[in-house]
């Protein structure tokens, strides 16, 4: 078995009485996209905070290149080449594209005290690097705030790649975007993958995850609910799993109760439909798990 670029093995995390994560494992190799899927409260953001070094897991292992890691801050993770691109923290809107791109890692020339930013080289590099990722910027001086949400995400991804990231962690990069813009961002995810980066894509949208992902880990209530390679799971099943069998059952009970108390026939019909779907889904999941066991 090849060593993965980044992997967590059965990590758990509690906050007081609340179990945020329990025995969760996930991994991404070089040139692989691993999608972490889950609804709100599934534990996605806890997992991402462990991966980027903001939280430490209570138990379980975190390995980079097969080596055991013990990060105490995002800086440590960054030094290992693990870059996290957050949905809304990515950029300073009033600053220009090139200033944002190099913020914190400015290109300088000259000796102190005349040490200064190499503006021409910075701008050229930005246009170049963005070009390599297929992002065309008209003017590197334009404020980032004038870019669309998708473009901003793309610039943030390009920056992480340029600054030497080997692993990209993307937190809901498509959540606030329209269909077309989400497509643009996903293209850069594929681009990063082609350049040999390991990508961990956190999302609640299976339609965005499926086309780019190699591997899907579905989280529910802090636990791994499903773990599939792309060839083992069709999109429909992924969507259904995301919709969630247990949730459907709960919904069914709620609707039945409502139907009983109001005597609404239509509502009762909908409830039974949900029930059937939930049963189907449970069967499929069981089958898939058996297949995994065989393999």
Partner 1 sequence: MTVDAPAATDDRLVQAGLAKKVLTRPEFGSIIGAVAVFIFFSLATENFFSVDAMSAVLNPASTLGIMSVAVALLMIGGEFDLSSGALIGGLGMTMALLTANAGLPVWLAMILSLALAVGVGMFNGFMVIKTKLPSFIVTLGTFFIVQGAGLGFARLISGQTTIYLSDEFANVDFAKWLFASTPFAGIRIPVYFWIAITALATYLLLRTRYGNWIFSVGGNAESARAVGVPVNRVKIALFVNVSVSAWLVAMFNTFRFESAQIGTGVGSEFEFIIAAVIGGCLLTGGYGSAIGASIGALIFEMVRQGLAFARWEADWFKLFLGVMLLLAALLNAWVRSRAQRAMS
**Cβ atoms 144, 155 nearer than 8 A:** yes
**Cβ atoms 59, 148 nearer than 8 A:** no
**Euclidean distance between CA atoms 115 and 129, whole angstroms:** 24
User: Cβ contacts of residue 128 below 8 Å, gap of 6+?
Assistant: none
Site string for partner 1, 4-23 (x = CB under 8 A): --------------------
Cβ 24 to partner 1, closest distance in Å?
Answer: 24
Site string for partner 1, 104-143 (x = CB under 8 A): xxx-x------xxx-x------------------xx-x-x
Nearer to partner 1, 116 or 195 (CB): 116
**Euclidean distance between CA atoms 291 and 23, whole angstroms:** 22
Cβ 50 to partner 1, closest distance in Å?
Answer: 17
Q: Is 113 exposed, middle or buried (0-12, 13-18, 19+ CB in 10 A)?
A: exposed
Closest by CA to 151, choosing from 200, 101, 210, is 101
Among 56, 128, 164, 176, binds partner 1 (CB under 8 A): 176
How distant, in Å, are the alpha carbons of 54, 142, 224 from that of 161? 21, 21, 29
Nearer to partner 1, 202 or 251 (CB): 202
Nearer to partner 1, 100 or 237 (CB): 100
**Euclidean distance between CA atoms 11 and 21, whole angstroms:** 7
Cβ 200 to partner 1, closest distance in Å?
Answer: 17
- Determine if 286 is a binding residue for partner 1 (CB under 8 A): no
- Determine if 103 is a binding residue for partner 1 (CB under 8 A): yes
- Determine if 94 is a binding residue for partner 1 (CB under 8 A): yes
Total residues at interface with partner 1 (CB under 8 A): 33
Cβ 149 to partner 1, closest distance in Å?
Answer: 4
**Euclidean distance between CA atoms 33 and 249, whole angstroms:** 32
- Determine if 177 is a binding residue for partner 1 (CB under 8 A): yes
**Euclidean distance between CA atoms 238 and 142, whole angstroms:** 40
Closest by CA to 240, choosing from 201, 202, 282, is 282
User: What residues from 254 to 273 belong to the interface with partner 1 (CB under 8 A)?
Assistant: none
User: What residues from 59 to 78 belong to the interface with partner 1 (CB under 8 A)?
Assistant: 74-75, 78
Nearer to partner 1, 29 or 183 (CB): 183
- Determine if 102 is a binding residue for partner 1 (CB under 8 A): yes
Among 147, 170, 184, 212, binds partner 1 (CB under 8 A): 147
Cβ 103 to partner 1, closest distance in Å?
Answer: 5
- Determine if 3 is a binding residue for partner 1 (CB under 8 A): no
Closest by CA to 276, choosing from 259, 292, 252, 260, is 252
The values of phi and psi at residue 60, to 5°, are 100, 170
**Cβ atoms 39, 220 nearer than 8 A:** yes
Binding site for partner 1 (CB under 8 A): 74-75, 78, 86, 89-95, 99, 102-106, 108, 115-117, 119, 138-139, 141, 143, 145-149, 176-177
């Amino acid at each position: 078995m090849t060593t993965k670029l980044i992997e967590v093995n059965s990590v758990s995390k509690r906050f007081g009485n609340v179990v945020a994560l329990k025995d969760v494992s996930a991994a991404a190799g070089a040139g692989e996209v691993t999608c972490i899927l889950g609804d709100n409260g599934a534990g996605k953001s806890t997992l991402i905070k462990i991966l980027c070094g903001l939280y430490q897991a209570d138990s379980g292992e975190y390995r980079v290149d097969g080596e055991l890691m013990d990060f105490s801050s995002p800086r440590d993770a960054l030094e290992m080449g693990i870059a996290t691109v957050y949905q809304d923290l990515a950029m300073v809107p009033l600053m220009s594209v090139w200033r944002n791109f190099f913020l914190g890692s400015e290109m300088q020339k000259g000796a102190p005290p005349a040490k200064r930013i190499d503006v021409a080289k910075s701008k050229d590099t930005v246009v170049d690097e963005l070009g390599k990722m297929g992002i065309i910027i008209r003017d590197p001086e334009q404020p980032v705030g004038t870019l669309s949400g998708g473009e901003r995400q793309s610039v943030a991804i390009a920056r992480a790649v340029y600054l030497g990231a080997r692993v990209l962690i993307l937190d809901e990069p498509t959540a606030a975007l329209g269909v077309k813009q989400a497509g643009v961002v996903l293209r850069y995810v594929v681009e990063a993958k082609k350049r040999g980066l390991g990508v961990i894509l956190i999302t609640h949208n299976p339609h965005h995850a499926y086309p780019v992902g190699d591997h899907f880990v579905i989280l529910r209530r802090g636990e791994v609910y499903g773990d599939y390679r792309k060839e083992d799971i069709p999109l429909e099943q992924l969507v259904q799993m995301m919709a969630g069998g247990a949730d459907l059952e709960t919904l069914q009970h709620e609707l039945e109760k409502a139907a009983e108390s109001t005597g609404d026939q239509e509502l009762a019909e909908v409830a039974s439909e949900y029930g059937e779907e939930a049963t189907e889904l449970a069967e499929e999941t069981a089958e898939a798990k058996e297949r995994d066991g065989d393999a």
